[in-house]
Amino acid sequence: DEKPSNASNRARNIGFELYLNSIFLKAGFKPEYDTAADLSFNVGNARYFVEAKRPTTNKAIKNVITDANSQLNCRLKSSLSKKNKGLIALDLTKIINPDDKIMPVHNEEYLFDLMYNEDKLQIDSLRKFWNKKKHKRTIGVLFHYRLLTNFYKNEQLSTVKWIGAVALCDDPEFSLITNKLQNVVREIC
């Protein structure tokens, strides 16, 4: 009965932050809770700050990315180490599926093709936003999607959780992070 126009997203926002913390932990990155960032963890000598956002409309995307960049700018400018880095995490579920429809799929290969294509579409459409006022040590953007799917052959309903990524600079640790996260997400789904 909740209406999007007057509903509070606070609980879902916190849920997304907790979900991110759990998959990072499962992937071997120990979350640190001594910063104001939505998620913080260490890889080697670098501390990573992650700002998690859940835009619910296409109009909101620019603002949430601007907000994430602003938060990361503050964290990275005030951090003592110049090795520290930033990441933006976007849950785009409501953007690609605003009506929570079930996605019909033929098989897993077809599903993966659809999700990779969705990543490509989002990268192309959002590129103009995440580079504006970005700190030079903000190295990437993670995309998260959660969709209910129906596999034609066996009429099986399945929730798909997907992590996509786009590197904003050449950083080998970003590839390591995204590979570990993608493996964990597939394991728990």
pLDDT in tens, the chain (189 residues): 556 565 667 788 888 999 999 999 999 999 999 999 999 999 989 999 999 999 989 899 999 999 999 999 999 999 889 999 999 999 999 999 999 899 889 888 888 899 999 999 999 999 889 888 899 999 999 999 998 888 887 788 888 889 999 999 999 899 999 999 998 986 555
Closest CA to 184 of 49, 19, 45, 31: 19
Beta-carbon contacts of 61 under 8 Å, excluding residues fewer than 6 positions away, are: 55, 95, 126, 129
Predicted pLDDT at 88:
97
Residue listed under structure tokens 């999607």: 145
Rounded CA gap, 16 and 153, in Å? 32
Predicted pLDDT at 4:
58
Rounded CA gap, 2 and 6, in Å? 8
How many other CB atoms are found less than 10 A from the CB of residue 56? 17
Predicted pLDDT at 106:
87
Predicted pLDDT at 5:
60
Closest CA to 94 of 143, 50, 58, 148: 58
Closest CA to 141 of 130, 151, 149: 130
> What backbone phi and psi angles, to 5 degrees, belong to 56?
-105, -10
Closest CA to 136 of 164, 166, 170: 170
Residue 169 DSSP label:
S
Predicted pLDDT at 153:
78
How many other CB atoms are found less than 10 A from the CB of residue 84? 20
